[in-house]
């Protein structure tokens, strides 16, 4: 194909869900599996940097536990994942070796994205692997996750990874060929939407409850993930395909699915991505002047614009900023709560501490 010869090299995150890896019995389908391998290998051969987010550990392991179907309890899923993860990664290693590709296994939890040092360490690890032409295979560390499968069949995990590594494209492969204007399982007249520049609450509403029996993430989960990736400046594709060229075709705008691209596709810096994910330690309430400076003026938050706060926080913690009862953003504070109590409402000439409470470089609007 001419597209293969002229296509620029990109950094691509491919997410493969359980339903795209397994058969009706919940076991890994060898034909589907090798089809994905061939397509991923083709991407690598074209010179692209590829990261794979793969579900399937629970689906691969539950029969070895003696279950007749996918377990529904947390302990059952985690035990199945403990068995299935090694089975799944073993298959990937063997299959990729046939194409001269070396994969690397990375297991992540929510904490790896919400804790600043771990977030930066994850980025450094991915960068080193990609620099050495290694293909990272990423999955949630189900066996130690506090809540069951918190990434929604890895949909959100793929979005978080795509933002972290500043990917050019996130490709979410599923058993449905894109987003429809109604639920195609219930409405035969439903029409596919080929391109979307904004994901609305209405879209999220009519896509709820469309998951498969094997996977845990329906179309609502995928749209939520796509919305995050778009906000991080990443283009998204949700759909399916078959054959060694399916991923190449998707990159060439010929994919069987829906393309998502924000009209303002600017990359959100890594430190600001982390701000959107981490837990907040308190709330700061600001006046109208501070709201305008933060939301439209691109300014930092000064002590003079603060009239109240809640919670206990230290310098370097993340707090949420409020316009009365409405959250407008969050940022990393340069004051502890004790120091802020003395500084809020004061102008720069009256301060003993820093001139700003939250610098604009450490602020993200919500």
> Hey, is 303 helix, strand or coil?
helix
Separation between Cα atoms, residue 180 and residue 167, nearest integer Å: 26
Least confident of 72-76, 190-194, 242-246, 355-359: 72-76
Residue 83 CB neighbour total at 10 angstroms:
18
Across the chain, which distance is largest between two alpha carbons, in Å? 71
Residue 266 is predicted with a pLDDT of: 62
Spell out the residues 6+ positions from residue 269 whose beta carbon is closer than 8 angstroms to its own: none
Q: Is the pLDDT of residue 255 over 70?
A: yes
DSSP code of residue 101: -
| 149 compared with 282, residue with greater pLDDT | 282
Size of the chain, expressed as the number of residues it contains: 366
In contact, 158 and 172? CB cutoff 8 Å: yes
Question: β-strands 318-323, 326-332: how paired?
Answer: antiparallel
pLDDT at position 218 is 78
Averaged pLDDT for residues 332-351: 96
Domains, the chain, in order of start with CATH, read: 2-268 (3.40.1160.10), 279-365 (2.30.130.10)
Return the pLDDT at 56.
86
Q: How far is it, in rounded angstroms, from Cα 303 to Cα 349?
A: 11
Question: In the chain, which residue ranges form alpha helices assigned H by DSSP?
Answer: 2-6, 30-45, 57-61, 74-97, 111-114, 116-131, 155-164, 201-206, 219-231, 246-251, 270-277, 288-295, 337-343
Q: Are residues 109 and 148 in contact, defined by beta-carbon separation less than 8 angstroms?
A: no
State residue 312's pLDDT score: 97
User: Which is it for strands 179-180 and 192-193: parallel, antiparallel or unpaired?
Assistant: antiparallel
* DSSP letters spanning 148-209: TTTTTTTHHHHHHHHHHTT-SEEEEE-SS-SEESS-TTT-TT--EE-EES---HHHHHHTTT
Q: What pLDDT band is residue 252 in, cutting at 50, 70 and 90?
A: very high
Residue 264 clears pLDDT 80, i.e. is over it: no
Band (267; pLDDT cuts 50, 70, 90): low
Within 10 angstroms of residue 230's Cβ, the number of other Cβ atoms is: 24
- And the tokens for 297? 């003026």
CB atoms near residue 128 (< 10 Å): 11
Residue 112 or 127, more confident: 127
Confidence of residue 181 (pLDDT cuts 50, 70, 90): confident
Tell me the pLDDT band of 150, cut-offs 50, 70 and 90.
Answer: low
Which of 144, 148, 129 is CA-nearest to residue 52?
129
| pLDDT of 269 above 60 | yes
Mean pLDDT confidence for 5-27: 83
Residue 304 has pLDDT above 80, yes or no: yes
Average pLDDT, the chain: 88
> 51-110, pLDDT tens digit by residue?
999 988 888 888 888 888 888 888 888 888 889 899 899 999 999 999 999 999 999 988
Does position 349 have pLDDT exceeding 70, yes or no?
yes
Q: Determine the Cα–Cα distance for residues 92 and 255; give it in Å rounded to an integer.
A: 24
Q: Give the separation between CA 102 and CA 95, rounded to whole angstroms.
A: 10
State residue 24's pLDDT score: 79
Q: Please give the structure tokens belonging to residue 181.
A: 């204007």
d(CA 83, CA 122): 25
List the structure tokens of 154.
Answer: 């890895």
């Amino acid at each position: 194909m001419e597209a293969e010869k002229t296509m620029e090299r990109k950094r691509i995150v491919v997410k493969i869900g359980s339903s795209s890896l397994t058969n009706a019995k919940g076991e890994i389908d060898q034909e589907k599996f090798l089809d994905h391998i061939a397509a991923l290998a083709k991407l690598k051969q074209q010179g692209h940097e590829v990261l794979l987010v793969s579900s399937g550990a629970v689906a691969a392991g539950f029969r070895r536990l003696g279950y007749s179907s996918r377990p529904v309890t947390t302990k059952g899923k985690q035990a199945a994942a403990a068995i299935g993860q090694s089975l799944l990664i073993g298959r990937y290693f063997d299959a990729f070796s046939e194409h001269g590709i070396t994969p690397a296994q990375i297991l992540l939890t929510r904490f790896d994205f919400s804790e600043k040092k771990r977030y930066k360490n994850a980025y450094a690890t991915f960068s080193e692997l990609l620099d050495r032409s290694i293909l990272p295979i990423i999955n949630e560390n189900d066996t130690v996750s506090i809540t069951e499968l918190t990434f929604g069949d890895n949909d959100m995990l793929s979005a978080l990874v795509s933002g972290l590594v500043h990917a050019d494209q996130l490709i979410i492969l599923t058993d449905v060929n894109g987003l429809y204007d109604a639920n195609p399982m219930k409405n035969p007249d439903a029409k596919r939407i080929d391109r979307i520049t904004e994901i609305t609450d209405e879209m999220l509403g009519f896509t709820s409850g469309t998951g498969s029996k094997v996977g845990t993430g329906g179309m609502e989960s995928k749209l939520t993930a796509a919305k995050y990736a778009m906000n991080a400046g990443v283009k998204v594709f949700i759909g399916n395909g078959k054959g060694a060229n399916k991923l190449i075709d998707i990159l060439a705008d010929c994919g069987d699915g829906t393309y998502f691209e924000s009209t303002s596709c600017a990359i959100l810096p890594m430190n600001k991505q982390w701000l959107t994910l981490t837990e907040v330690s308190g709330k700061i309430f600001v006046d109208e002047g501070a709201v305008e400076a933060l939301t439209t003026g691109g300014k930092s938050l000064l002590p003079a614009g603060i009239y109240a706060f809640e919670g206990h926080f230290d310098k370097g913690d993340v707090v949420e900023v409020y316009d009365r009862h409405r959250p407008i953003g969050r940022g990393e504070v340069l004051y502890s709560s004790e120091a802020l109590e003395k500084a809020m409402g004061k102008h720069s000439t009256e301060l003993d501490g820093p001139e700003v409470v939250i610098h604009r470089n450490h602020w993200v609007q919500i």
